[in-house]
């Protein structure tokens, strides 16, 4: 039997996808161990939620850039992940662009979830982009992370209808429900190989 994959979950926000993953692990639907939860923001709710589950947490050093780590910060993150013998890096609302050396230390081992049916609506507030475009459905995508933002190989997708009267908030909530089903199921398949 394969050993249990050790995950680091990286997030900057409320951590609802992290909770969905941890609950899937506890329910036996996902064979993995979350060995570390990392945030770039010291007061991100994801850290509180991780501590509530009794999981180890870490905060990345502050940086002057908003959308990426400093080169030293990226090196420190890689060292942290090595110290915790991490196999897979799981992005769950992590709001920084991932660069080398993180990318080349974990080739095909960094996974993200994005709130659209990629390649449509890359980037920020994808649900608002979908509403503005007037499409009838959108969804969410689990994909490998590479140098191109939201451009890595697609692992799995789930469709979500856009309903009359949807606001950005109602649509985002419906997409997040789909994310919480899709992410654990997609990771379970990846880890089975």
Residues marked active site are found at: 114
Cα distance between the two ends of the chain: 12
Minimum separation from the CB atom of position 13 to ligand GRF (A): 4
Q: Which position's Cβ is nearest ligand GRF?
A: 93
For ligand GRF, the closer of residues 74 and 179 by Cβ is 179
Evaluate the CA torsion angle 160, 166, 168, 169 in order and state its sign.
negative
Q: Residue 39: which residues within 8 A CB-CB, separation 6 or more? A: 10, 11, 12, 46, 47, 57, 58, 59, 60
- Residues of the shown chain interacting with ligand GRF in the complex, contacts defined by CB under 6 A: 11, 13-17, 92-93, 113-115, 176, 179
* Contact status, residue 136 vs residue 163, Cβ threshold 8 Å: no
CB-CB contact of 28 with 109 (8 Å): no
Shortest Å distance, C-beta 1 to ligand GRF: 30
Nearer to ligand GRF, 22 or 105 (CB): 22
Task: For residue 80, give both structure tokens.
Answer: 């942290």
Least separation in angstroms between CB 119 and ligand GRF: 15
Query: Where do we find the tokens 């639907």?
Result: 29
Whichever of 17 and 22 has its CB closer to ligand GRF, that residue is: 17
């Amino acid at each position: 039997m394969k050993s249990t994959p050790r995950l680091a979950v990286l997030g900057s926000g409320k951590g609802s996808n992290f909770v969905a993953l941890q609950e899937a692990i506890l329910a036996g639907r996902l064979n993995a161990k979350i060995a570390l939860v990392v945030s770039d923001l010291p007061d991100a709710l994801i850290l509180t939620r991780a501590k509530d589950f009794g999981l180890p947490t870490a905060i990345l050093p502050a940086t002057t850039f908003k959308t990426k780590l400093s080169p030293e910060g990226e090196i420190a993150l890689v060292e942290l992940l090595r110290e915790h013998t991490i196999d897979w890096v799981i992005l769950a609302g992590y709001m920084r662009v991932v660069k080398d050396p993180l990318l080349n230390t974990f080739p095909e081992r960094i996974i993200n979830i994005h709130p659209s049916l990629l390649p449509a609506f890359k980037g920020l507030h994808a649900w608002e982009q979908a509403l503005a475009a007037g499409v009838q459905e959108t969804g969410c995508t689990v994909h490998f992370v590479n140098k191109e933002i939201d451009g890595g190989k697609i692992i799995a997708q789930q469709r979500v209808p856009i309903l009359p009267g949807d606001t950005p908030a109602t649509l985002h909530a419906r997409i997040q429900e789909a994310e919480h089903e899709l992410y654990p199921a997609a990771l379970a398949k990846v880890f089975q190989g």
